Amino acid sequence: MKEGNENRKRRLPASERKRVILDAALSAFVEFGYHGALMDTIAERAEVTKPILYRHFSSKLDLLLAIIDNAGEELRTSLLLPTPSEMDWLTSIRHSVHAYFEFVTRSEAAFRLIYDTDLNVDTKARERVTQIRKSIIDVVAGVVSSYTDTSKMPREDIDVLAVILIGMVESTVIYWMNNKDRPAEKYEQSLVQAISSILSKLPPRPAS
């Protein structure tokens, strides 16, 4: 009777089962590295059989790509402004920097896997990370453009600036994760000041 209850307990919807498998894969990748993580270990941690694991993901690479996609989309979405037309540029900077740190705090393992480790495991993985970074550049460049007179500063220059700003945030976040010597809020404040100083020099969008 107890065994039957356990079986019923573990009959999860497909979407939830996939999430459990991805969480198990992420923990295995972080602990053992991509090459060192075994599908047997992932199946054991997800409490599924290997046939069920392969039913959801055909290979270890598919698991890695799914983790990258999920983390990248979560980060990109968190950086989107809720009401950009009603938010002044300084508030939008605070929002974006805080959202980035919140994502890293919430999904540190996924962030480390994508941004703080060597993903030379497959061309597809490298391409996927490149696509994610490009999408984040587009989000940041779009926000900067919304507060800038683009007749005086072309979009190509704003794109380059977005790359620089994102690089500042990424390197700061990675340093904070590896040290935790101060609260994240201190780093957020310093980043907001630095980014504000840079963006204050851009030609402002004319009032409509």
Distance CA 67, CA 69 (A): 5
Residue 8 lies in a domain: yes
13 with 95, same domain: the answer is no
pLDDT in tens, 165-185: 999 999 999 999 989 889 999
47 with 71, same domain: the answer is no
> 20: which strand partners?
none
Residue 206 lies in a domain: no
Report the pLDDT value the prediction gives residue 119, as an integer from 0 to 100.
62
Residue 208 lies in a domain: no
Q: What is the largest CA-CA distance in the chain?
A: 74
151 with 178, same domain: the answer is yes
Residue 170 lies in a domain: yes
Report the pLDDT value the prediction gives residue 85, as an integer from 0 to 100.
64
Single pTM value for the model: 0.82
Is the pLDDT at 52 greater than 80? The verdict is yes
Is the pLDDT at 137 greater than 90? The verdict is yes
27 with 68, same domain: the answer is no
Q: Report the length, in residues, of the chain.
A: 208
Query: How many C-beta neighbours within 10 Å does residue 108 have?
Result: 14
How many structural domains compose the chain? 2
Distance CA 53, CA 17 (A): 9
Is the pLDDT at 158 greater than 90? The verdict is yes
Nearest residue to 171 via CA among 189, 187, 156, 185: 187
Is the pLDDT at 71 greater than 50? The verdict is yes
Distance CA 183, CA 137 (A): 26
Alpha helix ranges (H) inside 12-107: 14-32, 39-46, 50-56, 60-79, 89-106
Distance CA 187, CA 172 (A): 7
Residue 68 lies in a domain: yes
183 with 93, same domain: the answer is yes
Residue 77 lies in a domain: yes
Q: Supply the CATH number for residue 79's domain.
A: 1.10.357.10
Q: What is the DSSP letter of 93?
A: H
Residue where one domain finishes, among candidates 58, 79, 103? 58
pLDDT in tens, 1-47: 444 444 444 577 878 999 999 999 999 998 888 889 999 999 999 99
Token look-up 């480390």 returns: 112
108 with 162, same domain: the answer is yes
Beta strands in 23-171 (DSSP E): none
Give the residue numbers spanning the domain of 178. 62-199
Query: How many C-beta neighbours within 10 Å does residue 21 have?
Result: 22
12 with 80, same domain: the answer is no
Nearest residue to 160 via CA among 182, 137, 139, 135: 137
Residue 71 lies in a domain: yes
